[in-house]
Structure 1
Amino acid sequence: MSKGDLTRQRIIEEAAPIFNQRGFAGCSMQDVLDATGLEKGGVYRHFASKEELAAEAFQYAWTRVAKARREGQDAISGTVEKLQYSVKRFAETPGIFPGGCPLMNTAIDADDGNPVLRDLVCAAMKEWKARLASIVEDGLVSGEIRGGVQPRRIANTIIATLEGALMISRLEGDRTAVSDARDSLMTMLDGIAAG
């Protein structure tokens, strides 16, 4: 990587937590300058706009979070067990970004006001849902998951339950809702197993 590429990456890495905590509107370029120690020209040399930086920061944050949530999943052979692992990993692994889940935060922040960020969040959600649905599809093919189970429905239920529980837990200041969601999803996943 060139020196310019390294500087650009450092700006993204240092801006990502700020955007995640404060949102697009709540994060000023001065916040980014303060975090990076760069002058305005130093940031704008690498990014044409605040929106471009926010988009890169979201992609960086989401890539790191998604990777952390998947870590170890490939070593699990059973499809139901793989889904259960995904739920446990979400529920039991501490967040790696201040402010919570970048997907949820950016989705709420960009819903009506920023089509670029909204499109990036939609793409990230689509990828997460597809990954979970693919595991269910594999289980249907292998006979590990009973017939009639709808992969899309399972993926939507897992994501909605976990993200909703995370929001409740953040509001209440404890992990009870996330633990409850984990337990309920484990019961649901036990119920889709063939057998």
Structure 2
Amino acid sequence: MSKAERTKQFIIEKTAPIFNAKGYMGTSMNDIMHATGLTKGSIYGNFENKDEVALAAFDHNFGAIVSYIRLKIEARPKMIDKLLVYTETYRNFLKLSFLKAGCPILNTSSEADDTHPMLRKKAVNALKLWQTSLEQYIEIGIKTNEIKATTNAAEFSAILMSLIEGAVMQAKVTGDSTVLNFTMDFLEKMIKELKA
């Protein structure tokens, strides 16, 4: 990795948590400079503008979640247990450094849906990837007779994602994880009831 690539990666790693916590509009160039200890010129020497930093920060934040969940899922042989990784992860999101500020998909979606088309596109693609992954696990489970053949993979995945994101939002806003725990308990039951 070249010095320029290392500097770029350093900027992304230092600013990603700030963008996730404060959003695109709330993150200033001063925040970026303060987090990195770099001058405005150094930052703009590596990124064309704040948009580029924000897009890279989103990729970094989402990539951290994907890597974490993928690692947990790969360690489990059964499809039901793979699906339970999602409830376990989001139940404990406040304890995970990369999720402490909330889910980057949710945070980015609520801000960028009408104001930042490029970030909105990133959030849409992240949602599609998440839904596709869930659907694939369910479809594999149906083929291997681990999951009921009557399960609608698209429907179940959409409901699971919506419940997770809604519960995370409530826990983040209120600072109270009661609703989050109720929701994850409910989802765990739903997932276990998929068993063939």
Question: Is the TM-score greater than 0.5?
Answer: yes
Letter in 1 for 2:129: E
1:27 CA displacement = 0.8
Q: Specify every segment of 5 or more residues in structure 2 that has no aligned partner in the other structure, as ranges.
A: none
Deviates more, 1:39-48 or 1:185-194: 185-194
Letter in 1 for 2:91: A
1:62-116, CA deviations, whole angstroms, 9 ceiling, x for partnerless residues? 1012212333211211111211233222213523234211111011111101110
Aligned partner of 2:112 in structure 1 is 110
SS in 2 for 1:72: helix
Distance 1:135 1:90 in 2: 18
1:18 CA displacement = 1.1
1:160 to 159, 162, 165: 162
Letter in 2 for 1:138: I
1:43 CA displacement = 0.3
Could you list the structure 1 runs, at least 4 aligned residues long, displaced by more than 4 angstroms after superposition.
none
Distance 1:23 1:92 in 2: 22
Aligned partner of 1:24 in structure 2 is 24
Aligned partner of 1:95 in structure 2 is 96
Q: Specify every segment of 5 or more residues in structure 1 that has no aligned partner in the other structure, as ranges.
A: none
Q: Tell me how many residue pairs correspond in the alignment.
A: 194
* Matching of residue 13 in structure 1 with residue 13 in structure 2: yes
1:138 CA displacement = 0.4
Distance 2:35 2:85 in 1: 36
Letter in 1 for 2:52: E
Q: Is the 8 A contact 2:80 2:146 kept in 1?
A: yes
1:188 CA displacement = 0.9
SS in 2 for 1:77: coil
1:23 CA displacement = 0.8
1:129 CA displacement = 0.8
Letter in 2 for 1:96: S
Letter in 1 for 2:107: N
Letter in 2 for 1:70: R
Deviates more, 1:84-93 or 1:172-181: 84-93
Task: List aligned pairs for 1:50-129, cutoff 5 A.
Answer: 50-93=50-93, 94-97=95-98, 98-129=100-131
2:151 to 149, 152, 155: 149
Aligned partner of 1:41 in structure 2 is 41
Distance 2:192 2:34 in 1: 49
**Compared with structure 1, are the counterparts of its residues 160 and 78 closer, same or farther at alpha carbon in structure 2 (3 Å cutoff)?**
same
Give the aligned CA root-mean-square deviation in angstroms: 1.3
Letter in 2 for 1:179: N
Q: Is the 8 A contact 2:19 2:54 kept in 1?
A: yes
Using structure 2 for the length normalisation, give the TM-score.
Answer: 0.94
Q: Is the 8 A contact 1:165 1:181 kept in 2?
A: yes
